[in-house]
Amino acid sequence: MNRMMAIVEREMRKFFRSPTLMLASMIFPLVQLIVLGNAFGGKIKDARLGVVDQDGGTQALKIRQAFDSVRANMRTFMPVYYNDEATARDDVRNGKIQGAVIIPPQYSRRVYEQDRPQIALVVDNSDNFMSSTLEQELSDITTALNQPTIEPRLLQQTVLQIVELYPYIEYMKYLLPGSITLAMFVSVMIGGGMLYIDDKARGVHEGYLVTPITKTEMVFGLNLAGAIKAVLTGVVITVIGALLAGVSTIFNPATVLGLFIMIGLTSVAFNTMMFLLMVRVDDPLVPRAIFGILNTLLFFPSGSIYPVQAFPTWLRVIAKADPFTYAVHGFKGLLLKESGLTAILPDMLYLAIFGTVALAIATPLFKRTM
Amino acid sequence: MIAKANGKPAGSGCEGPDKQGQNAIDVEHIVKKYGDFTAVNDVTFHVVEEEIFGLLGPNGAGKSTLIRMMTTLLPITSGRAIVAGHDVSKDADGARRCIGVIPQALTSDLDLTVEENMNIYAKLYDVPAKQRKEAIDELLVLVDLTRWRDAQTKTLSGGMRRRLEIARGLVHSPRIFFLDEPTTGLDPVSRVAVWEMLTNIKKNRQLTILITTHYMDEADRLCDRIAIVDHGKLVALDTPAALKASVPGSNVIEVQFEHPPADLEQRLHSLPDVTSVQHEGAGMFRVLTGNGSLTTTALVEMAVHAGIPVKSLTVQSTTLDDVFVHYTGRQLRDELVKAYGFVMPQAPGLRP
């Protein structure tokens, strides 16, 4: 036990003497949280939408009024008026405007005659997000135009009423659980992966191996030290991230308890996973080389930036085994939904089992000799 | 003093047969193979208690592999090594408690202070807290680092760092001390400081020291006995004086000629008391002789009569360099000196 704690002491002293290392493991996830949270979280504003009015009638005027209303209120787009369709279409192609609405000749007459009135929307569908936003906005406008002047007393069609369980969650808040998880992963990657191999290459482990320390003491000492570093990173990022994203649930004592348990279990699961991956590696370049691959393979399928339900089957299989998924789910439950511990019990259980299994495989693989 | 009078140190937990009448290390027919490559080939030697035993050889000779087998770091392919009465293959922990090891690379933690570095190793050896402090105090005095006790290791020079590592290796008062090339990469002043420190430690503690080196002067100055290792084999083992005496000739004449004729080597052989002549290229010859002054006079006369200009000429007593050349057929000093500081240890499984 004393010998195990000697390894932990050495690792922790080094950790606190290298603040750059601590910062490095925290800065990347925080930058991601701030940049991605702001870049992806906003709605489209001030897009330029061309309008070609070939009709000039009263119904066309109603559409133009609706567009002006959007410009004045939502500001999703601002209309730019064209005289001919070809120029508007070219400008969409060239990116001068993001879309063009063509109101064909005889549109007003067709509305009055109820003879299939149509308007066209030309979009640049190489930009999915922009085109789907404009399509949605135009659909809303046409639905509003189609509303009868006098509403029937009883609705004759099925209407979907959406009930949102939680207050509006901005994208930055949605990203927070992933950022906390990523910070702990980066800490483990640096503290448990890169430094572990660097120490091995520098001969530090050779120094340990000539002492009477047992294999179990060494394995547990190294893993405990790695997990403590990840816990410290997790706590700091949870507090800073929650304050940045405006998540007030961190002030709830029950949530705090849940967060501590989740941070602890996630740290153990990640560190043992990293230890298992590195246990037979000697080349200091290996952890650096696989850092990007591991990050992509574990972070992105976890549902931290895009829902798992949108993945193809093979990616869902990765997500199912990925400890990131359970960590993100658990943190999401605690931070965004204020779920109780019971709700995230399966996540905690998976992380605990994952950590135990990884350590059980890694321990016999660890070599007591060089 | 931490070490007790009977040689069994306090605090280290080193237990084993009493050392009376017993060797500190017995290496018997030890072999280390990596696949088809034999790094150490059937080496046998014994190190008696409280001697300084040197393993001398060029880089890649198998010295580090030998030391790593004796210190339980590498499994032995065949043969056996008994260290402080413990078979390293069967009772590795018993052996580990009795030894202190200074690896070739500098492995002290740069971010930790001198005392912290020593403290952590004392804990790894289970030295009780009270003895830990005493041992550290005493060792810091011994290696002259007391003033640097709270300094971070990164602020120390290479020589000071090596002294710290030597102190760290002694923190549990081992019976046997292994040092793998302890002065490689150090400047001449630091090397001499390390030698003096080791001699001092030896004087103060009942310690057996096994040291590997590729410096002849280091082996000559420090070691009671020297084993010369080459290509994984033990080629000679004796005291420095006996090894020097075993080389035919007591003096070495190094002479360089301008435009030497083809038969010059034969002519040098025919000079009085000459035992061997070695042509080293560029007109340089090493002549071993039993009578330095007589051979030198004859050599100069021969050169004058034959009209062969002599560029330079030195006469010296036989050194371990000559011993090495005699036993291995090549010169140790030609080996490259490794870079100072960070030295990447040999990766397991690779050829050393």
- Pair B110, B235 in one domain: yes
- Pair B151, B189 in one domain: yes
- This complex has an ipTM of 0.77
Sheet with B37-48: strands ordered across: B37-48, B23-34, B78-83, B86-87
Cβ contact B71–A3 (<8 Å): no
Chain A residues within an 8 Å CB radius of B121: 207, 211
Cβ contact A210–B120 (<8 Å): no
Half-sphere exposure (Cβ direction) of A252: Cα atoms closer than 13 Å: 16
**Alpha-carbon span B249 to B295, nearest angstrom:** 11
| B12, part of any domain | no
- Pair B233, B292 in one domain: no
- Pair A240, A353 in one domain: yes
| Count, residues in chain A | 370
Around Cβ B79, how many Cβ atoms within 10 Å? Answer: 17
| A161, part of any domain | no
Nearest to A9 among B13, B71, B120 (CB): B120
Residue range A49-69: mean pLDDT, rounded = 91
- Pair A79, A19 in one domain: no
CATH (domain of B79): 3.40.50.300
| B347, part of any domain | no
Contact B274, B214 (CB under 8 A): no
pLDDT at A341: 87
Question: Which amino acid, A248?
Answer: S
| B290, part of any domain | yes
- Domain end (from B207, B223, B242): B242
Q: How far is B266 from chain A (nearest CA, A)?
A: 51
Residue range A312-318: mean pLDDT, rounded = 91
Chain B residues within an 8 Å CB radius of A206: 73, 103, 105, 107, 345
Q: How far is A358 from chain B (nearest CA, A)?
A: 24
Q: How far is A197 from chain B (nearest CA, A)?
A: 12
Residue range B257-261: mean pLDDT, rounded = 88
With an 8 Å Cβ cutoff, is B104 touching chain A?
yes
- Pair A182, A248 in one domain: yes
- Domain end (from A125, A142, A159): A142
With an 8 Å Cβ cutoff, is B125 touching chain A?
yes
Nearest to A17 among B111, B124, B345 (CB): B111
Report the sign of the C-alpha dihedral through residues A160, A165, A168, A169, in that order.
Answer: negative
Chain B residues within an 8 Å CB radius of A203: 103-105, 107, 343, 345
Instruction: Point out which residues pair with B253 in neighbouring strands.
Output: B287, B315
Which residue intervals of A105-152 are DSSP H helices? Answer: 107-113, 128-146
Structure tokens at A111: 């509305």
Q: How do residues B123-143 score in pLDDT, each as one tens digit? A: 999 999 889 999 999 999 988
Measured between its terminal Cα atoms, the distance across chain B in Å is 38
Which chain A residues in 144-203 lie under 8 Å from chain B, judged by CB atoms?
Answer: 201-203
Res. B332 pLDDT band, cuts 50 70 90: low
Q: How far is B265 from chain A (nearest CA, A)?
A: 49
Res. B349 pLDDT band, cuts 50 70 90: very low
pLDDT at B335: 44
CATH (domain of A115): 3.40.1710.10
Q: How do residues B192-244 score in pLDDT, each as one tens digit? A: 888 888 888 888 888 999 999 888 888 888 999 999 999 899 999 999 888 88
- Pair B167, B281 in one domain: no
Q: What angle do CA A278, A346, A314 make, to 5 degrees?
A: 60
- Pair B259, B327 in one domain: yes
Higher per-residue pLDDT: A170 or B112: B112
The count of structural domains within chain A is 2
Residue range B36-47: mean pLDDT, rounded = 94
- Domain end (from B178, B209, B242): B242
Structure tokens at A252: 């709830």
- Pair B108, B209 in one domain: yes
Residue range A106-123: mean pLDDT, rounded = 90
- Pair B238, B279 in one domain: no
| A149, part of any domain | no
- pLDDT higher than 70, residue A56: yes
- Pair A13, A111 in one domain: no
- Pair B235, B254 in one domain: no
Tell me, rounded to whole angstroms, the distance of Cα B35 from its chain centroid: 27
What single string gives the DSSP state of each residue in B307-333?
T--EEEEEEEE--HHHHHHHHHSS-GG
Q: How do residues A334-354 score in pLDDT, each as one tens digit? A: 998 888 888 899 999 999 999
| A51, part of any domain | yes
Chain A residues within an 8 Å CB radius of B152: 17
- Pair B303, B327 in one domain: yes
pLDDT at A168: 67
Nearest to B123 among A3, A202, A207 (CB): A3
Half-sphere exposure (Cβ direction) of B192: Cα atoms closer than 13 Å: 2
**Alpha-carbon span B40 to B77, nearest angstrom:** 9
| Count, residues in chain B | 352
- Pair A106, A254 in one domain: no
**Alpha-carbon span B171 to B95, nearest angstrom:** 16
Half-sphere exposure (Cβ direction) of B167: Cα atoms closer than 13 Å: 32
Cβ contact A202–B107 (<8 Å): yes
Q: How do residues B295-320 score in pLDDT, each as one tens digit? A: 999 999 999 998 899 999 988 887 88
Which chain B residues in 43-72 lie under 8 Å from chain A, judged by CB atoms?
Answer: 68, 71-72
Chain B residues within an 8 Å CB radius of A213: 124
- Pair B55, B202 in one domain: yes
Residue range A230-258: mean pLDDT, rounded = 90
Q: How far is B224 from chain A (nearest CA, A)?
A: 25
Cβ contact B111–A13 (<8 Å): yes
Nearest to A212 among B68, B96, B347 (CB): B96
- Domain end (from B214, B242, B270): B242
With an 8 Å Cβ cutoff, is B93 touching chain A?
yes
| A354, part of any domain | yes
| B4, part of any domain | no
Q: Answer whether 0.90 is exceeded by the pTM.
A: no
Contact B132, B119 (CB under 8 A): yes
Chosen for mutation from B71, B117, B120 (greatest number of chain A CBs closer than 10 Å) is B120
At B287, is the secondary structure helix, strand, or coil? strand
Chain A residues within an 8 Å CB radius of B338: none
Q: Give the residue numbers spanning the domain of A130.
A: 43-142
- Pair A124, A221 in one domain: no
Half-sphere exposure (Cβ direction) of B290: Cα atoms closer than 13 Å: 8
- Pair B264, B322 in one domain: yes
- Pair A281, A331 in one domain: yes
- Pair A136, A204 in one domain: no
pLDDT at B54: 94
| A340, part of any domain | yes
Res. B10 pLDDT band, cuts 50 70 90: very low
At B238, is the secondary structure helix, strand, or coil? strand
Residues 6+ apart with CB under 8 A from B101: A207, A210, B67, B71, B169, B177, B178, B180
Q: Give the residue numbers spanning the domain of B251.
A: 247-331
Q: How far is B259 from chain A (nearest CA, A)?
A: 50
B32's enclosing H/E stretch is strand B23-34
Please state, rounded to an integer, the average pLDDT across all residues of chain A. Answer: 88
Cβ contact A202–B105 (<8 Å): yes
Chain B residues within an 8 Å CB radius of A282: 347-348
CATH (domain of B291): 3.30.70.100
Res. B256 pLDDT band, cuts 50 70 90: very high
Question: Which amino acid, B163?
Answer: R
Cβ contact A206–B13 (<8 Å): no
φ and ψ of A147, to 5 deg: -65, 135
Structure tokens at B33: 């193979």
Nearest to B124 among A203, A206, A211 (CB): A211
| B344, part of any domain | no
Please name the residue of chain B whose CA is at the shortest distance from the CA of residue A200: B345
B40's enclosing H/E stretch is strand B37-48
- pLDDT higher than 90, residue B77: yes
- Pair A21, A95 in one domain: no
pLDDT at B21: 60
**Alpha-carbon span B242 to A307, nearest angstrom:** 80
- Pair A278, A209 in one domain: yes
pLDDT at B17: 60
Q: How far is A187 from chain B (nearest CA, A)?
A: 19
The count of structural domains within chain B is 2
| A153, part of any domain | no
Residue A337 region, left (φ>0) first, then alpha (ψ -120 to 50), else beta?
alpha
pLDDT at B20: 58
Residue A315 CB burial class (10 angstroms; 0-12, 13-18, ≥19): middle
Cβ contact A203–B105 (<8 Å): yes
Residue range B253-261: mean pLDDT, rounded = 89
With an 8 Å Cβ cutoff, is B121 touching chain A?
yes
Q: How do residues A157-209 score in pLDDT, each as one tens digit? A: 777 777 777 766 777 888 889 989 998 998 899 888 888 899 888 888 888 99
Q: How do residues A272-310 score in pLDDT, each as one tens digit? A: 999 999 999 988 898 888 888 888 889 889 888 788 888
Chain B residues within an 8 Å CB radius of A212: 13, 93, 96-97, 124-126
| A65, part of any domain | yes
Res. B342 pLDDT band, cuts 50 70 90: very low
Residues 6+ apart with CB under 8 A from B262: none
Chain A residues within an 8 Å CB radius of B99: 210
- Pair A106, A213 in one domain: no
- pLDDT higher than 50, residue B59: yes
Contact B184, B338 (CB under 8 A): yes
- Pair A18, A49 in one domain: no
| B342, part of any domain | no
Chain B residues within an 8 Å CB radius of A11: none
| B28, part of any domain | yes
| B284, part of any domain | yes
Strands B52-56 and B208-213: parallel
- Residue B113 CA: distances (Å) to CA of A52, B66, B148: 77, 32, 8
- Pair B85, B232 in one domain: yes
